[in-house]
Chains A and B, each alone.
Chain A
Amino acid sequence: DVKVTQSSRYLVKRTGEKVFLECVQDMDHENMFWYRQDPGLGLRLIYFSYDVKMKEKGDIPEGYSVSREKKERFSLILESASTNQTSMYLCASSLGASGNYNEQFFGPGTRLTVL
């Protein structure tokens, strides 16, 4: 089974702090994604990556950055956390080159609260 793990289930940070959210997948997937989920808005794509050291902006990249130094790990960085970044963050991975019809496998999510 594909396993996608996220470093924290719950996180509380203060405004202005630098926040790192880590995601690791164990199935050698090429693609990795970061979403945020808010009530009534569904899932919104923040950033994604097709390969090591590659990144692409999603629909809402402002206020976020990402890092992919190893194939299995994709980090989401909030350079200076703000209260409007309080949300559920979901990481996902999928095979490259439209493998398996782009089916994505999700981690359990990190619920981030910024005070």
Chain B
Amino acid sequence: AQSVTQLGSHVSVSEGALVLLRCNYSSSVPPYLFWYVQYPNQGLQLLLKYTTGATLVKGINGFEAEFKKSETSFHLTKPSAHMSDAAEYFCAVSDLKLIFGTGTRLQVFP
């Protein structure tokens, strides 16, 4: 069975600092991997996805993620945090339906 682990339920960074949100997955088949973002009192919005091909995936709002099969990881990064990035982030792996991690809340301090 497929599963997702997000390390760290809360991450805090200063504005302008690097953002790194960690995601590890377990899958018996080549995975499809997703990162979603949820702003307060809103639904989830797709940030980026990995399906096949290039392992470095670029998404919206300057975020990117790298699929590393050897490490079973799909960590999300952004070189320079902005106050508007404060939100909850969910990693997910696809198995006909999506299997979500428990989420990481990102706080950005001025």
| A-to-B contact residues, CB < 8 Å | 4, 9, 31, 33, 40-43, 45, 48, 58, 90, 92, 98, 101-109, 111
Taking a contact as CB atoms under 8 Å apart, the answer to whether A98 and B100 are in contact is no
B45 at the interface (CB under 8 A from A): yes
Q: Which 4 A-B pairs have the closest CB atoms?
A: A106-B43, A42-B102, A102-B94, A101-B32
On chain A, the residues within 8 Å of B43 by CB distance are 4, 90, 106-109
B55 at the interface (CB under 8 A from A): no
On chain B, the residues within 8 Å of A42 by CB distance are 90, 100-103
Q: Say yes or no: A40-B94 contact (C-beta < 8 A), given A107-B43, A109-B42.
A: no
Q: Could you list 19 A-B pairs, sorted by A, with CB under 8 Å?
A: A4-B43, A33-B97, A42-B103, A43-B44, A43-B90, A43-B100, A90-B43, A90-B44, A92-B44, A101-B49, A101-B94, A102-B97, A103-B46, A105-B46, A108-B42, A108-B43, A109-B42, A109-B43, A111-B41
B34 at the interface (CB under 8 A from A): yes
Smallest CB–CB gap between B37 and chain A, Å?
11
B60 at the interface (CB under 8 A from A): no
On chain B, the residues within 8 Å of A58 by CB distance are 97
How many B residues, CB 8 Å from partner?
22
| B-to-A contact residues, CB < 8 Å | 9, 32, 34, 36, 41-46, 49, 51, 90, 94-98, 100-103
Q: Say yes or no: A103-B100 contact (C-beta < 8 A), given A90-B43, A90-B44, A108-B43.
A: no
Contact of A102 among B32, B36, B42, B101 (CB under 8 A): B32
Beyond A103-B49, A109-B42, 6 additional contacts (C-beta under 8 Å) are A4-B43, A42-B90, A42-B103, A43-B103, A102-B95, A111-B41
Contact of B44 among A31, A41, A101, A106 (CB under 8 A): A106
